[in-house]
Amino acid sequence: MIKLPLTQAQLENVQIDYGIIFANYGEADAAMLGPTRGGGEFKATATIRDIEFDGQKGKTKGMQVIESINATLSVVTLDTSMSSLAMAMPWATYDDVLGTITCKSENIGVIPGEAYLKNVTMFCKTVKGDYRKITLYNAMSEKEFVLAAKPKGEGEVSLEIYPHWDPTDSLADLFLVETVASLAA
Q: What is the DSSP letter of 5?
A: P
Using DSSP's 3-state secondary structure scheme, residue 115 falls into helix
Q: What is the DSSP letter of 133?
A: E
Give tens-digit pLDDT for 77-117.
999 999 999 999 999 999 999 999 999 999 999 999 999 99
Using DSSP's 3-state secondary structure scheme, residue 141 falls into strand
For the chain, the structural domain boundaries read 8-44+70-180
Amino acid code (one letter) for 47:
T
CB 90 within 8 Å of CB 140: yes
Contacts of 116 (CB under 8 A, 6+ apart): 90, 138, 139, 140, 164
Interatomic CA distance for residues 79 and 153, integer angstroms = 13
- What is the per-residue pLDDT for 3? 85
Tell me the backbone φ, ψ of residue 175, rounded to 5 degrees.
-150, 165
Give tens-digit pLDDT for 24-75.
999 999 999 989 999 999 999 999 999 999 999 999 999 999 999 999 999 9
pTM of this prediction?
Answer: 0.92
Helices (H) and strands (E) in the chain, counts: 2, 10
CB 159 within 8 Å of CB 74: yes
Torsion-angle region of 138 (φ positive above 0: left; ψ -120 to 50: alpha; else: beta): left
User: Where does the pLDDT of residue 156 fall: very low under 50, low under 70, confident under 90, or very high at 90 and above?
Assistant: very high
